[in-house]
Chains A and B, each alone.
Chain A
Amino acid sequence: MSDGFRDASHLPKQAGRNQADPDGLPRQRRGTTPQMHGRYPDLDILAFTSHWDGPTRTLILDRVENPPPFRFFDAAEVETLKAFCDTVMHQTREPRIPVLAYVDEKLHTGRLDGYQYADMPDDRETWRLLARALDEEARARGGDAFGRVPEELRLEICGHLADDEVEGGTWEQIPRAFQVAMRAILAAFYSHPWAWNEIGFPGPAYPRGYMRLGIDQHEEWTEDEAFAVDPVGDVKERGLE
């Protein structure tokens, strides 16, 4: 990858495969990313908190430091839905962003999004039915509850769900379950500073703002993309090891 990420051949539609090779991704050196790989190995958003306004700092630090306890889902639902969230977000190992904990809090406090599809139940009911449908599907395919079947089977079931190819049983009550669930999952995952470290988003920008807006420009406090530099030489040069 001498050209680093200026080339687009690593992208799923061009590479003809679903996934980047995690071993080909840089390891995180500072801060945390989900699964500890990302494009910006020295980016640590949580080192910037002194540049944020008070209410924003309070909110985001609380989000990171105090993942909410489960109050909406029961233990069996948690096992199933945690596995579902990890599968659709490809969280294969620790550290994981605790996506389901944030979803649970939203549902528990009724902090919903302002609409319900006419052919769907309330979001809270949808999530419970999704847990039931996932377990039914996993059992029907010769397995156990969804959270206890091998990753390949979980991927297969999620693939059918994403392609709208699941039917029968509980699925009939929740035709847009994937859409509803992904909305909450993506909001939980990409509101977490660990995800911002992974993708190179500098997070809150008030009151600091930005001044270098142009192509290939970045602020002096944001980081280069890993493969724009030679990581071996870079580590030595900066005395990071």
Chain B
Amino acid sequence: MKGAGLVLKGSLRPKDNDSAFLLDPHRRGVPNRERMQRHRDGDEVDLVIVGCGAGGSVLAQRLGRAGWRVVVLEKGPFWDPDEDWVSDEEGAHALYWNEKRIVGGEDPVEMGKNNSGHGVGGSMAHFAGYAPRFHPSDFEVRTRDGVGADWPISYWDLKASFERVERELPVAGQHWPWGDPHGYPHGPHPITGAAERAWEGARACGIRMRVGPVAITNGVFGNRPHCIYRGFCLQGCKVNAKASPLVTHVPDAIEHGVEIRTNSMAVRIEIDGTGRCTGVTYVREGREHHQRAALVAVAGYSIETPRLLLNSTSARYPHGLANNDDQVGRYVMVQGAPQVAGRFPERLSMYKGPPPEISSEDFYETDESRGFARGFSLQSVGPLPIGWAEHVRGDGHWGAALREYMRDYNHWAVVGCLAELLPLPDNRVTLADETDHNGLPIARFDYTQCDNDRANIAYAKRVMNDVWSAAGAQDTLTIDRYAHLVGGARMGTSPEESVVDSDHRAWGVPNLLVADGSVMPTQSAANPALAIMALADRLAARLLAKRVEDGRPRPPRTGLVAVLEGGGA
């Protein structure tokens, strides 16, 4: 490790987050819920956050620790992994955002289990666990490559946040040679036979692979146990080994006076006569409530964040909040994520181990010889039977042929790619004519690839086929798909081409923030969870340093004072 004076390995305790120590070692779920602070709707809290996923939880935990009075409105439930989660693909259905969205465009994107979460923890409850950093190049794509957009901040503005979040999750993996080279707090997990086969093929092609980076404990970390390699990461970790805000930030947030109000669907952000937010109207158990707040942060991810802003119309903002320049909902991005399976004589049992095992970022940046801008990462994956059936179907099979490929399950291994697709203004979230059970217009998401996107995806598929061919695969099967969501309320330097500034503050609405993946101006070829958390970490630091207006001045409170006050109320 070049230049590193300390070897940062093992059970490093995060400085300002006790979540892993607050958990019960013999019971999953958040133990201190019964002591949670409760606020009344009419009390003006310092901050109300909409959404308790990667962005909202980190922001709440940081500010709760600093003594802010914070309420998080979460549409879904407070999960107890022991009781609510099962070791079963179909049984994980409740973890997804299953309310209807309309998907259109020439290349419509599947939602639900593919990319949308529901409940405390958000989609990280069912993410695979890959937690790579973005590269420095991701923040200056327009300048370097002439496509997409530049971010108003650089990698170096986020580097300390990446490091802090990596220690909190914690992330396990080999030393990372790509982007800004770095190590990880936990060492690499053992890999399965399926990943071995992929690695052999990559090696023969001259492609570097590394184990990780995955947000799964590989050693002692507070009261979170070691992974048991059961392979059900996408169904919610019943072990507490895989990171999600439910175990990494929510316990500490609650301990420091944050209230997480579940089953509460935000329907409108309210505005006063001066154009400032006064709080959030939400529906709980069929009734409308209004939580007053000095500052509002929206963290509903790339579909629900734009939808809430667009639905928050008023005489002052007839086209929705922060949407004077018709920027809300635009530049929503997904990653091209085709997967190619290779068939081998041996039993590889790809259902074992976490689906994310090894990855390569050798193709991440632009290489002009490839004929398109930007690139992709390669990652091993391990679909369970329903996922494998969708893969076989994706290659065109049904009936007897599908059954035969399914019987062959144990002989296959799968690699996937995440191809960086470019931000395009017409790939956007709008409001559909149809309404939900609260009478609120639902979101419509249109998506169409550009030529650069198609060339990137096609190239990545050729590389994956080369890997399997070099590994000696006897047959291959390919599925085209997408992964992840970002954008829709992007950060920038002017209201004409963005929704928020570099401090996540909505243009024209002084006390409205956006604190999730929707602020990202480009997609990168990395999984977005770590970057969403890092952005929220940076935003919290900016708020605490008073670099961003925090509504109105208040005396700081300690977590203990807040708890005692709540107990006496």
Task: Report which A residues bind B (CB closer than 8 A).
Answer: 5-8, 10-14, 18-20, 25, 38-39, 52-53, 55-56, 59-60, 87-90, 111-119, 122, 155, 158, 162, 182-183, 186-191, 195-196, 198-211, 213-218, 225
Contacts and interface: CB of A to CB of B under 8 A. Distances in A.
7 contacts: A18-B399, A112-B98, A118-B104, A122-B100, A191-B90, A214-B196, A215-B197
B112 interface: yes
Interface residues of B, number: 76
A12 B386 contact: no
Given A6-B346, A12-B397, A12-B401, A198 B103 contact: no
A202 B230 CA distance: 10
A52 B88 CA distance: 11
B113 interface: yes
A207 B352 CA distance: 14
Contacts of B105: 118
B193 A214 contact: yes
Contact of B398 (A53, A88, A113, A208): A88
A208 B386 contact: no
Interface stretch (B6-14, B408-416, B449-457, B489-497): B408-416
A11 B343 contact: yes
Contacts of A118: 102-105, 108, 444, 446
Closest CB pairs A-B (n = 3): A209-B228, A114-B112, A19-B400
B174 interface: no
Interface string B330-362: 000000000000010111110111000000000
A114 B111 contact: yes
Nearest to A204: B87
B98 A113 contact: yes
A195 B348 CA distance: 19
A114 to B, nearest CB: 3
A202 to B, nearest CB: 8
Interface stretch (B78-86, B271-279, B550-558): B78-86
B345 A117 contact: no
A42 to B, nearest CB: 15
B404 A191 contact: no
B101 A115 contact: yes
B444 A190 contact: no
A88 B446 CA distance: 30
Contact of A195 (B97, B385, B399): B385
A113 B403 CA distance: 24
Contacts, number: 224
A204 B347 contact: no
Given A90-B403, A118-B102, A190-B406, A218 B239 contact: no
Contacts of A116: 100-103
Given A205-B232, A206-B239, A210-B353, A182 B398 contact: yes
A7 B343 CA distance: 10
B407 A56 contact: no
Nearest to A163: B396
User: Dominant SS at the A interface?
Assistant: loop
B231 A205 contact: yes
A11 B85 contact: no
B14 to A, nearest CB: 27
B98 A111 contact: yes
A84 to B, nearest CB: 11
A140 B238 CA distance: 52
Contacts of A19: 399-401, 403-404
B370 interface: no
A13 B32 CA distance: 56
A213 to B, nearest CB: 4
B112 A113 contact: yes
Contacts of A203: 87
B111 A115 contact: yes
Contacts of B397: 12
Greatest chain A CB density within 10 A among B96, B396, B409 is at B409
A113 B101 CA distance: 10
Contacts of B193: 213-217
A199 B350 CA distance: 12
Contacts of A14: 474-475
A177 to B, nearest CB: 13
A189 B401 contact: no
A189 B399 CA distance: 12
A215 B90 CA distance: 28
A198 B406 contact: yes
Contact of B404 (A20, A59, A217): A20
